[in-house]
């Protein structure tokens, strides 16, 4: 109990990148710009989808959830990264570190499950279009969303509990830009191989199970698209899936690099770079991918922007 109390009073020092002050200023400007793009683009998508009745469909409902996840994930991690680039002493409290780690993991797992749900939505829409409205009704969409968020936040509890209950013996220097699970676990002064094994197995289940569902659904989707009689129908069907496939590739590529790569083959600096891509670049790209490749969203955005302009007399 005394050891636990000492941990609660401990501040962690985030080492970040060992760079010159000039480079840190440049990175601060770049990261801030990307963060602002993330906030504006994802907020705009949520506003457009909620404001246009033509976009009140299951696909856009799930896209709104994805944008909200990106907003929350970036806001959980990026401000602390920005602080580290301009602050001489880059610290975070024990409670702050636990909160950042838990929220980040929860949102990451939630997005992992949500992408599988979105693949299932596309499967029903393309492979069973006559019953789409019946199968993917409002009640089903809400229940799927609740289960997705609940699953993410419940699974993350185990990861964080395993990590933060390990004794640190006064070690408080985290060689990372954020409180990332593997980096914090390295501070433990006991053998953590069992904890790492449990976390690795859960990571495999969390990543591979949804990815397998996505893979199987797209086998059926592609098979159905290829059997369509007209090229116009095939193009229209595939265009509704291309944005989702791009986001899946971007998300799972960085997530697998972060959580399933052997620590012996990935350097600490590469760990930090992958983490930044996962937490900073991906949330900014996701809304751009859906916007640039979707005529309905672009049309609604133009309508919204025109409506916000002052009338001419």
pLDDT at 49: 87
Among 61-75, 79-93, 103-117, 209-223, the range scoring the smallest mean pLDDT is 79-93
pLDDT at 8 over 60: no
Q: What mean pLDDT comes out for the span 62-88?
A: 89
- Which of residues 139 and 311 earns the better pLDDT score? 139
Among 98-102, 133-137, 225-229, 264-268, the range scoring the smallest mean pLDDT is 264-268
pLDDT at 311: 37
User: What domains can be seen in the chain, in order of their start residue?
Assistant: 2-304 (1.20.1070.10)
Q: What mean pLDDT comes out for the span 251-276?
A: 71
pLDDT at 1 over 50: no
The size of the chain, in residues, is 313
Would strands 91-93 and 11-14 be described as parallel, antiparallel, or unpaired? antiparallel
Note the pLDDT tens digit of each residue in 230-260.
777 777 777 778 888 888 888 888 777 766 6
Which tokens in the block code for residue 202?
């859960």
| Most confident range, picked from 79-83, 138-142, 205-209 | 138-142
- List helix spans (H) across the chain: 2-8, 21-51, 58-86, 94-127, 132-135, 138-164, 181-185, 193-226, 231-259, 268-276, 282-292, 295-308
Q: Are 29 and 193 in contact (CB under 8 A)?
A: no
Among 45-49, 116-120, 305-309, the range scoring the smallest mean pLDDT is 305-309
Cβ neighbours of residue 182 closer than 8 Å, sequence gap 6 or more: 259, 263, 271
Note the pLDDT tens digit of each residue in 194-209.
888 888 888 888 888 8
Q: Considering the chain, what is the average pLDDT of its residues? A: 83
């Amino acid at each position: 109990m005394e050891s636990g109390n000492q941990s609660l009073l401990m501040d962690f020092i985030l080492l970040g990148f060992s760079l010159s002050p000039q480079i840190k200023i440049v990175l601060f400007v770049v990261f801030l710009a990307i963060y602002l793009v993330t906030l504006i683009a994802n907020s705009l998508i949520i506003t457009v989808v909620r404001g246009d009745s033509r976009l009140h469909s299951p696909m856009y409902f799930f896209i709104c959830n994805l944008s909200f996840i990106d907003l929350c994930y970036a806001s959980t991690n990026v401000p602390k990264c920005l602080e580290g680039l301009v602050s001489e002493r880059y610290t975070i409290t024990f409670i702050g570190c636990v909160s950042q780690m838990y929220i980040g993991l929860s949102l990451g797992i939630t997005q992992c499950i949500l992408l599988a749900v979105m693949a299932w939505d596309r499967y029903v829409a393309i492979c069973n279009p006559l019953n789409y409205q019946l199968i993917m009704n409002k009640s089903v969409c809400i229940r799927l969303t609740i289960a997705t968020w609940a699953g993410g936040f419940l699974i993350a509890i185990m990861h964080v509990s395993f990590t933060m209950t390990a004794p640190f013996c006064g070690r408080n220097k985290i060689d990372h830009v954020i409180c990332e699970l593997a980096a914090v676990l390295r501070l433990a002064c006991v053998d953590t191989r069992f904890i790492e094994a449990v976390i690795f197995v859960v990571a495999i289940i969390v990543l591979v199970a949804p990815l397998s569902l996505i893979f199987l659904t797209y086998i059926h989707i592609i098979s159905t698209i290829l059997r369509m009689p007209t090229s116009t129908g095939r193009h229209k069907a595939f265009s509704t899936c291309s944005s989702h496939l791009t986001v899946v590739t971007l998300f799972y590529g960085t997530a697998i690099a972060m959580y399933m790569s052997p620590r012996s083959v990935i350097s600490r600096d590469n760990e930090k770079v992958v983490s930044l891509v996962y937490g900073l670049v991906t949330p900014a790209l996701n809304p751009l991918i859906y916007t640039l490749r979707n005529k309905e969203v672009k049309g609604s955005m133009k309508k919204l922007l025109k409506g916000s302009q002052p009338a001419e007399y």
